[in-house]
Each structure stands twice: as structure tokens, then as C-alpha cells.
Amino acid sequence: MKIVMLGAPGAGKGTQAKMISAKYGVPHISTGDIFRANIKNGTELGEKAKKYMDQGLLVPDELTLALIMDRFAQDDCKNGYVLDGFPRTIAQAEALTKSLKDNGDALDMAIDVDVPDENIIERMGGRRACVNCGGTYHILFNPPHRAGFCDLCGGELSIRKDDLPETVKKRLTVYHEQTQPLIDYYTGEGILRTVDGTKDVNEVFAAITELLA
């Protein structure tokens, strides 16, 4: 099974990708992990990516795709993979489709974890992290025993800049402009499947396993 996960930031697609990986024994592949692994191992592609990252620049699509295709060629991908965080744009999706086709390969399914914007703003805006130990909470779904303080170490809880409502709204705007068109693209490819991401994590996963049955 060769799957790409789609969904807005905070939709839970990363969590679902990890659960698919664990159940079906295929690797969960994210671009961040690929960059880190190649930089750590000092590969030629990793060194090229590091030059961009050290300058605070985005790694070019061509280089990112080369890293992903190199990852697909590794032994643990022989039974498939779950790709998370790429592609983010139509250009990236088209390039991925072409690279796979050139290798006589193709994706089996694109799974969209669909969550309305208002739910995402509520989810992410309610997240809190401990300034001391990094413990994570949610004021609605996983509150600490004592409001504002970590259960583990008693440290103060704070909201990350990424989770501030205005930041989340900006991220969602970028998602709708750049990434949501992928839903139309993969619909056109005939491989898009959609699950309701507003449900409980396990219910969402149950819906995904039905699609993969």
C-alpha cells in the first residue's frame, strides 16, 4: 500500500499516518524525518538540503523529491509507505506522480482527513505545553489536574506561538490556497478517499482501515 495523507494543519493526519504504519508494518515517511536522517548521515542530498535549511530557506521541490524517491528505494518500503507532509502543492504532486511513473510505480490512495476550520482553530488554540518538561495538554480534551500547571513537574503551561488563533488562521489560509487543490488533483487521479476527521482518533482510524481493507 502506497498512501499519501492529506489534511489541514491540526487535522490529525500525522497521528493517523503513524497508526497506519504501526498496523500495516509500512514506514511513516515525513519530509522532516527525511531531511534530518540525511543530514545526520552526511549524505550528498542531505548536505545540499542543509545548505538551504541553514539559511532559513525552503528546500527546493526538485531536491525534496529526490530525497523522497531515494527513501522509497530503501528495503523497508518494499511493501509500501505512508507519505505525510508532501506533496503540498499541485506542482509537487505532478512531479511526484511523474517520478513514480518513470519507475513504473504509482500511489494507491490519497486519504484526506477532513476537519472544518473552526474545529481546527478550537483544537490548536486549546493546546498547552509545559515550559519546563515539554508535557502537552489541551484545555478541553486533555486538561491538567490544576489549570495552568503541568501534572508531571508542576511547571507553568503556555500556548505556543504556532497555536495562537491568528497564527492558525494564517496557516489555514495558506493551506486552502496551496494544498487544498490537491484534493481536486487526486480526485482527478481517481485515488482520493475522505474520512471525517472530527470524530474520535480511533473512529477515524477505523474508517481508514475500512478503506484499506
Distances in Å between the Cα of 83 and the Cα atoms of 33, 69, 77 are 11, 11, 11
Of 47, 29, 51, the C-alpha closest to 38 is: 47
Of 195, 178, 41, 56, the C-alpha closest to 113 is: 195
Which residues, other chains included, contact 168 with Cβ-Cβ below 8 Å and sequence gap of 6+?
Answer: 9, 10, 120, 121, 124, 125, 162
Catalytic residues: 13, 88, 127, 160, 171
